[in-house]
Structures are given as C-alpha cells and as structure tokens.
Amino acid sequence: MRLLAENLSAHRGEDLIFSNISFELKEGQALILTGRNGSGKSTLLRVMAGLLRPASGTISFWYDAARKAHNLGEVAHYLGHRNAMKTELTVRENLAFWKDFLRDAAGGTGYSVVDAARAVELEQVLHLPFGYLSAGQQRRMSFAKLLVGYRPVWIVDEPTAALDVSAEALLARLMREHQVRGGVILAATHQPLELLDVKRLEMKGFEFAAGDED
C-alpha cells in the first residue's frame, strides 16, 4: 500500500493557499498536518479526498505494485468539520445508512453498526435521534461512521474537536488500531494523538507562495 502526493498546490479564488507539497505514505503510517489557522490544512485534506481540484500536482494510491486506485477518494474516509449525520434520524439509522451506502473497499470489512457504536463506547444511545446527542457524542458517533465501512485511508480534519480528554484518548486508540491493521491516516490536529509511525508536515500558509508577501 502506497500513497503518493507530488507537487500539490491549491488556489482558493485568486489566492494561492499552498504549493509544492509532496509526501509519501506507506502501510501503517500517519501524516499529521500542523500549522496556524488559515494555513491550508483543511484545504489540503479536501484536495486529498478529491473534493477540491488541485491547481497542480498528482495524488496516487496503489494497493500493491500492480493495482492502483482510480482516485484516492474512493478508498478514503473523510471526516470534516461537519458530522455528515442527519439529526432527524436515529443513530442506528444513520450508521446503517452509511454502512449500506459506503460498502467496503477492497482489503477489509467494516464493523457492524452495533460493534462500531460499542467501539466509540456509545452503544446505549443507538435508538436515540442523532439530534438528541451532545456535541461530543455526535462527534464520536460520526467517528463510528469510519468503522462501519472499510477504507484503507482515513482523512480526518480536527477529529477531536468538542471532545473531552477521555474521548480524545478513545479516538486516538481507534486510529492506532486502524494503523496496526495496515491503514493510513492523514490528520489535521493540534492534539498530541500519539499515533504510530508519524510523519509531520507543517503548513506555512501564504509564505509558501513565492513572492507573495503580506
């Protein structure tokens, strides 16, 4: 398994957000993005997920030497700032929908809905509407979404926002388990999540843009 990003750059409107970002990740590795607000962490993650088109550069993903994924988004989970869960539906309905819709990518199987809820230690609230949960519980449940359908790559943007210390440790443990199973993680976070085999990339924002001083 190999994830390769070469010479990525992205614009937002006329502004150059970042340029010339390259990195390579192998099985079980994690990339942690740091940098101040507005330095382009979220933008890079959205580019990686295929939700934004890069201004230049390529992203490629190989299962092994022979098989290459069509694009990274298909083999990746993306957990953005928003939870992608419907407040009107119960937690079980939400997770069951995503399990059914996401299916499993090649190379693994996802947890059952109950197991995923148990993994984030919230199986008691499966029958409740998602909107009844507190912000922290909602975040944990949307993390459970990453478990129900198997994806080798997890792209997570501030996964521990709105979480207390114990819940943060819980999610960090789940991410490490994903790495042990051979998964790759791309995360933007300021918390010391203690992932395994970490590569760090500090985003410097505008300073990257050649000749652009503010």
Partner 1 sequence: MTALLLRDLKLSFRAGGGALIGILFFLTVVAVIPFGVGPDLNLLSRIGPAIVWIGALLAALLGLDRLFQADRDDGSLDLLLMQEHPLVLTILVKCLAHWLANVLPLVIASPLLGLFMNMSEVAIGAVMLTLLVGSPALAFIGAVGAAVAVTLPRGGLLVSILVLPLTIPVLIFGVSASYAAVEDPAPFLPPFLILVAITMFFAVIGPLGAALALRNAGD
Partner 2 sequence: MTESLAIRKFSDLANPTRFLALAERLLPWMAGLCCLLFAAGLYLAFTTEGDYQQGDTVRIMYIHVPAAWLSMMCYSVMALSAIGTLVWRHPLADVSHKAAAPLGAAFTLIALVTGSLWGKPMWGTWWVWDARLTSVFILFLMYLGIIALNRAMDDPSKAARVSSVLILVGFVNIPIIKFSVDWWNTLHQPASVIRMGGPTIDGEFLRPLLVMAMAYTLLFFTLHITAMRNEIWRRRIATQRRLAARTASREV
Q: Are 48 and 76 in contact (CB under 8 A)?
A: yes
Q: Which is nearer to partner 1, 82 or 200 (CB)?
A: 82
Which of 23-31, 42-50, 114-122, 165-173 is the region at the interface with partner 1 (rule: CB under 8 A)?
42-50
Neighbours of 145 (CB within 10 A): 22
Kindly list the strands in the beta sheet with 76-79, ordered across the sheet, starting from the edge strand earlier in the chain. 76-79, 153-157, 184-188, 30-34, 198-202
* Window of 26-34, 89-97, 163-171, 198-206 that interacts with partner 1 by CB under 8 A: 89-97
Please report, for residues 10, 70, 112, the alpha-carbon distance to residue 160 in angstroms, rounded to integers and kept in the order given: 26, 30, 23
Tokens representing 167?
Answer: 């819940």
Q: Determine, following the binding rule CB under 8 A, whether residue 87 of this chain makes contact with partner 1.
A: yes
- Collapse the DSSP code of 58 into the 3-class scheme (helix H, G, I; strand E, B; otherwise coil) and give the result: strand
User: For partner 1, which stretch binds (CB under 8 A), given 26-34, 93-101, 112-120, 184-192?
Assistant: 93-101
Can you tell me which of 2, 4, 6, 50 binds partner 1, judged by CB under 8 A? 50
Positions that interact with partner 2 (CB under 8 A): 121-122, 124-125, 128-129, 131-134, 136-137, 166-167
Sites of contact with partner 1 (CB under 8 A): 46, 49-53, 70, 73-74, 76, 78, 80-89, 93, 96-98, 100-102
